[in-house]
Structure 1
Amino acid sequence: MTGRPRRVVVTSPRTAAARRPRHPLTREIDEQTELGEVYMRSLIRTQFRLALFVCTVLACVVGGLPLLFLLVPDLRDARLLGVPLPWLVLAGLIYPAFVAGAWFYVRQAERNERDFADLVERR
């Protein structure tokens, strides 16, 4: 044997090399990083727009009824089963409209939250 040291070939795909840890977006939200704040602001803004939409529609319906009765005097003077029509509309149709608005809001808000959760988990 000669006095030269034996050659050794070292091959490594660098699997042990330091990589940037990939953590879920939920961690970004929990730690309140800038990215997490952007996502949360997006969800809050979406929910706020939905609330404004539902409240605006209900306000237009409820606020429009007195205007309707003012502009159409025949409706104001109409009676159904001996009860003035405006009373029936205000007592009988407004509450179902509020319930329908609330049902729509809850359904849409849950859908927004589901979409947000899917977005966070997908990343």
Structure 2
Amino acid sequence: MTRVRVTAPRGRPAGGAQAAGVTGHPPAGSVPAGGAAAGGAAAGSGAGLRTAVDAREAAEESDAGQVFVQALIRSQLRLGIVVAAGFLLILLAFALLLGVVPGLAELRIAGLPFDWVLLGAGIYPVIGLSAWLYVRTAARNESRYRDLAGDR
């Protein structure tokens, strides 16, 4: 396995979409160790990886490319807010359930208070499901972006 040095592209803000790894591709100028670019071409020849990276950067710098990147950022932000709000609503529902149903907090299961069992055994599957949905949907958003940007 060869090592790859990942650096931020020059001329862009450090917090930009490319630097944050949104597109999932190496930044401009990064070449795999050993001096070979994609497809076995020599790094100095300008073929392979450099051509694809230059074409992608040119597309991102165009007006349409900027719109695509901004749409991706908005969709990922919206996804994060929806998943976090859904998780917090479920957590709030657990708390309301314990407060509204009389005697539920005093109930014991296997010697443990019910509220502890509910939070311990009930919340972790919700966390896992939220994380799985987030990752799946974020990958789908990025795939749609790559399709729109013509990056495949």
The question of whether the paired residues in 1 share the 8 Å contact of 2:59 and 2:149 is answered with no
Q: Distance in 2 between matches of 1:65 and 1:81?
A: 20
Q: Distance in 2 between matches of 1:57 and 1:41?
A: 24
The question of whether the paired residues in 2 share the 8 Å contact of 1:26 and 1:121 is answered with no
Q: Structure 2 residue aligned with 1:86, among 105, 108, 115?
A: 115
Q: Give ranges in structure 2 of 5+ residues lacking alignment.
A: 1-54
Q: Distance in 2 between matches of 1:44 and 1:61?
A: 26
Point out which structure has higher relative CO (alpha carbons under 8 A, 6+ apart). 1
The question of whether the paired residues in 2 share the 8 Å contact of 1:58 and 1:97 is answered with yes
2:58 aligns to what?
27
User: 1:25, CA displacement in angstroms?
Assistant: 6.5
Query: How many pairs were matched up?
Result: 98
Structure with the largest fraction of helix: 1
The question of whether the paired residues in 2 share the 8 Å contact of 1:26 and 1:120 is answered with no
Q: Which amino acid aligns with 2:58?
A: R
Asked if 1:96 corresponds to 2:125, the answer is yes
Q: Which amino acid aligns with 1:99?
A: G
Q: Give ranges in structure 1 of 5+ residues lacking alignment.
A: 1-23
Q: Structure 1 residue aligned with 2:66, among 3, 28, 37?
A: 37
- The two structures, once aligned, show a CA RMSD in angstroms of 2.0
Q: Distance in 2 between matches of 1:114 and 1:36?
A: 15
Decide which structure has the larger Cα Rg and report it. 1
Asked if 1:111 corresponds to 2:140, the answer is yes
Q: Structure 1 residue aligned with 2:103, among 62, 67, 74?
A: 74
Q: Distance in 1 between matches of 2:71 and 2:56?
A: 14
Q: Which amino acid aligns with 1:27?
A: A
After the TM superposition, which parts of structure 1 deviate over 4 Å for at least 4 consecutive aligned residues? Answer: none
